[in-house]
Amino acid sequence: MTYRNLEHMTDAFIEVSGETLEEAFETAGMAVVDTILDVKSVEKKSERKIDVGADDLNGLLYNWLEEIIILTITEGFAAQNFNVKITKTDKYFLTATISGEPIDFDKHHFKLEIKAPTYHLMEIKQEKPVVMRFLLDL
């Protein structure tokens, strides 16, 4: 369960990995929050639930990243832990329980504002470990 920033001229280009697809999605959520604010200072004080769906995995990743950005920037919730479950029927569905607390910028040290995820350079490799790359428009 790791993530790293890759080189990109103007945006945040991130690579995450996990032993499972769900772990990789959890790591992607954490990478987004850590791009916005200092996650080390976030405590587990309350929980939020997120449900997203999509026709394919790239769409699911896009929708997931978008929801994390909304949760953080718009709703003011600093996430610290993600528990993701993914199911597939005719579509992909993701249900997540997210632990954290309301954002306090004195405590959580704002870093960058993310506008949106993009499909540009998005990549999901489902081998062991699962590796995903995605670009966040800053």
Whether 78 has a pLDDT exceeding 80, the answer reads yes
- Regarding pTM above 0.75, the answer is yes
Range of the structural domain that residue 60 is part of: 2-137
Q: How many residues does the chain have?
A: 138
Share of the chain above pLDDT 70, in %: 99
Q: List the structure tokens of 90.
A: 């005719």
Span 93-108, mean pLDDT? 96
94: CATH: 3.55.10.10
Phi-psi region of 21 (alpha: psi -120 to 50; beta: other; left: phi over 0): alpha
pLDDT for 1: 64
Angle at 65 between CA 3 and CA 4, to 5 degrees: 15
For residue range 117-134, list pLDDT tens digits in order. 999 999 999 998 999 999
Look at the chain and report how many structural domains it folds into. 1
**Helices 57-69 and 21-36: crossing angle, nearest 10°?**
30
- Selection from 79, 67, 82 nearest residue 116 by Cα: 67
For residue range 48-76, list pLDDT tens digits in order. 999 999 999 999 999 999 999 999 999 99
- CB neighbour class for 135 (10 Å; exposed up to 12, middle 13-18, buried from 19): buried
For residue range 2-60, list pLDDT tens digits in order. 887 778 678 899 999 999 999 999 999 999 999 999 999 999 999 999 999 999 999 99
pLDDT for 80: 95
Sign of CA dihedral 114, 11, 31, 96: positive
pLDDT for 11: 85
